[in-house]
Structure 1
Amino acid sequence: MRFAVGYQLFQDDYLIKNIIERKENISEVYFSWGDFPNGRNNQLKRADMTEWEALEKQMEDLKKLTEEKISLNLLLNATCYGKDSQSRAFFQKVGDTVDYVLNNYILKSVTTTSPLIAKFIKTNFHALDVRASVNMGIGSVEGMDYVEDFFDSFYLKREYNRNFKKIRELKTWCDENGKKLYMLANSGCLNNCSAHGFHDNLVSHESEISKMDNGYEFSGVCHEYLKKPGKLSTLFDNTGFVRPEDIYLYEKLFSSVKLATRVNANPVMVMKAYIDNKKHIGSVFDLLEPNHTVAIYPKFVENSRIEAVADDDELKYINIEKALINVEDKVCYQVK
């Protein structure tokens, strides 16, 4: 199994060097470009660089990855493009961008939430794999069948990550129809989150929103939910992350698994946990996007103490109480 890792812009080359060191285990590096709305914040808006310096650094980094023959995946995965969603000018910009990236780097695929962007890419760039974003929430054969003319591959709905029976069902359809199926391993999002769509739309429009006199801030509902009495006990049932220790269970189901690393505070740690060590000692939240550490402080969920139970149909994590640790406690870890 190989891994797709997310590009994150840093002033130094530490992340890029670590990606290159693991290139045999990395299927692709996915990234956003310029000021295109995407599933994360605009990476060019920084305090330590101007927008031009940030874009120049990104181009240098992508060139280094290209020199190492590492494939790239362009993210056009915002859930909303507002007034631009169907405009000719927008698709001209998309086409110009894809054409530039394709001719200067090893671009192999595009991930999007928009059927129109998918149609545009398939019509104009036949060599590219067009992938349905995890943000589309596709978790059924019908869901894939509806848009099979637009997409070559699909990300599995997060909620089914531990449901082997469902994964096999979807993989069978993909195999029979010439499609590919992928999984995002380390999402910290709550399953069936009622505010997910709203939150994603806010992120899509963050450039406009940042210019307004806003009466409220919104960073999701997950942290406040987990702070409520008794709700932390539902964490394992209400999330779909898969620990590094359990990735081996998916080797026959996926040729590549995606790691969320675009906003993680330590993306190299995530790569080492999943690619090198196949384990992690420390808070499981440190591996996830979003990270829920602030929600349950001064406690944390020790990854190595999570009890996993797996059969042919599903993977379950149980007994969260055994994995809960107070940061003030002295803990002795057994390292094997």
Structure 2
Amino acid sequence: MKFSVGYQLTGDNRFLEAILRNREQISEVYFSWGNLPNGRHAATLHETLSPWEAKARMEEELATLRDAGISFNLLLNGACYGDRSLSKAFFREVCETVEEVGSKFGLSSVTTTAPPLAHLVKVNFPEIATRASVNMGIATPQAAEYLGEDFDGFYLPRELNRDLAKLEEFSDALEKMGKTRHILANSGCLNHCPARSYHDNLVAHEAGIAGMDNAIPFRGLCADWLSKDENRRMILSHLNLIRPEDLCHYEELCDSFKLATRVSPDPVFILESYAAGACHGNLLDLTEPNHAGHFYPIVLENDKIPPEYGLYAASCAKKCHICGYCGRVFDAASRNLEDLFVASADCQ
């Protein structure tokens, strides 16, 4: 079982040390470079370090991972590159970026949302594997065939994590096509979110948006949806998260599991939980985006979730309006931290 782990420039060395400690289970570390839109903010955006200090430390840490024998995946997965998308200058910048990263650290693959960029890499860097981002939403063999030979691998859609039959069918088809298959294990995105494309576009343009006199903030549709008590109770049926304990049901269907850790407040917890195959803590702290804050003071104790839950949720009829099983599991696993604090105070 291999993991693809997102690089994050943290305030200490704990995450770097966790990657090194679990390197036998890590197939690659993925990251963005420079100011190219990539689905998250720039990797060198840091609260306490200047951009130059952050870049120097990022390069130092990547060199450490390189020397430990860990492979790298470069993200070219912005949802939008604006009016530069087809320009010669932009294509030149992408090639220069691939060359720079490859010469400094070595580069085994790139992940992109843009077919022209996949073709660009294929033509100019044939030794580098190209991978279709999960944000492309490639969900059928037919869709994969449209892309021809420009993509060597595909991220399977998040929503198929909750439909093992369809996931197996698509995975088998990709394998017969000679493609590698990859699964995002811990996404916090709601299933079938209608604002996903819009949100991804906002992220791609966040630097420009930050300089505008904006009318409103956009927190994401999930934040508004989770502000209602009745919706929070149904979170399990609306997520596509694979718990560490349930990876065994998916292991034969992919070549690696991607762990979203680039903006998590605790990437060490995510990596250690999946590497160990068990989460002992708040299940909501595994997701990126992290949803734990929407539920506080309620936590969802993963140890209280029945071991059969994962397989059930991935194989059920999806008649959530008449079933209620996920809601009952949520109730059984929920703990109110304020109640625990009160009980602790009473004991004293």
- TM tier, smaller: over 0.9
**8 Å Cα contact 1:70/1:106 also seen in 2:** no
**1:53 aligned onto 2:63:** no
1:327 to 2:328 alignment: no
Amino acid at match of 2:152: D
Within-5 A mapping of 1:13-24: 13-24=13-24
Determine if contact 2:237/2:313 at 8 Å carries over to the other structure. no
d(CA) in 1 for partners of 2:242, 2:313: 16
Aligned mates of 1:213, 1:63 — CA distance in 2? 40
Letter in 2 for 1:158: R
Q: Count matched residues.
A: 331
1:34 equivalent in alignment to 2:13: no
Secondary structure in 1 matching 2:237 = coil
Where does residue 69 of structure 1 map in the other structure?
Answer: 69
> What is the aligned partner in structure 1 of residue 151 from structure 2?
151
Judge which range, 25-34 or 36-45, deviates more. Answer: 36-45
Match for 1:310: what amino acid?
L
1:282 corresponds to which residue?
Answer: 281
The answer to whether the 8 A contact 1:224-1:295 is kept is: no
TM-score (norm 1): 0.94
- The whole-number CA distance in structure 2 between the counterparts of 1:293 and 1:223 is 11
Matched AA of 1:164? L
Structure 2 CA distance for partners of 1:231 and 1:108, relative to 1, 3 Å? same
User: Residues of 2 paired with 1:238 and 1:78: CA distance?
Assistant: 25
> Partners in 2 of 1:43 and 1:26 — Cα distance?
20
Q: CA deviation at 1:101?
A: 1.2
Find the aligned partners of 1:210 and 1:64 in 2 and give their Cα distance: 33
Report the Cα distance in structure 2 between the residues aligned to 1:172 and 1:256, rounded to whole angstroms.
15
1:296 — aligned with what? 295
CA 1:309–1:154 in 2, change beyond 3 Å: closer, same or farther?
A: closer
Structure 1 residue 309 displacement after superposition: 5.1
Q: What letter corresponds to residue 329 of structure 1 in structure 2? A: D
Residue deviations 1:33-92 (CA, integer Å, cap 9, x gap): 111111111232333111111111111111111111100000011100101111110110
TM-superposed CA distance for 1:292, in Å, is 1.3
Paired with 1:60 and 1:241, the residues of 2 have a C-alpha distance of: 32
TM-score by length of structure 2 reads 0.90
Query: Which letter does structure 2 place at the counterpart of 1:60?
Result: E
Alpha-carbon offset, residue 311 of structure 1: 6.3
Distance 1:13 1:283 in 2: 23
% identity of equivalent residues: 43
What residue in structure 2 maps to residue 273 of structure 1?
Answer: 273
Uncovered stretches (5+) of structure 2, i.e. residues with no partner: 319-324, 344-348
Seen in structure 2, the aligned counterparts of structure 1 residues 118 and 280 have a Cα distance that, compared at 3 Å, is: same
Tell me if the contact between 1:6 and 1:30 (Cα under 8 Å) persists in the aligned partners: yes
Q: CA deviation at 1:303?
A: 1.6
CA contact (8 A) 1:71 1:108 kept: yes
Aligned to 1:167, the other structure's residue is in SS state helix
Q: 2:45 and 2:311 mapped to 1: Cα distance?
A: 43
SS at match of 2:335: strand
SS at match of 1:330: helix
Change (3 A) 1:312 1:177: farther
8 A Cα contact 1:8 1:261, kept in partner: yes
> Which sections of structure 1, spanning at least 5 residues, go unmatched?
none
Equivalent residues of 1:35, 1:44 under 8 A apart: no
Q: Does residue 134 of structure 2 align to residue 134 of structure 1?
A: yes
Shift of 1:11: 4.6
Letter in 2 for 1:281: H
Moved over 4 A (4+): none
Residue deviations 1:128-169, cap 9 Å, x none?
A: 110011111121122212213321100011001132211211
Counting helix residues as a fraction of each chain, which structure ranks higher? 2
1:314 matched to which residue of 2?
315
**Counterpart-to-counterpart distance in 2, 1:258 and 1:297:** 27
Amino acid at match of 1:100: E
Contact 1:3 1:27 survives alignment (8 Å): yes
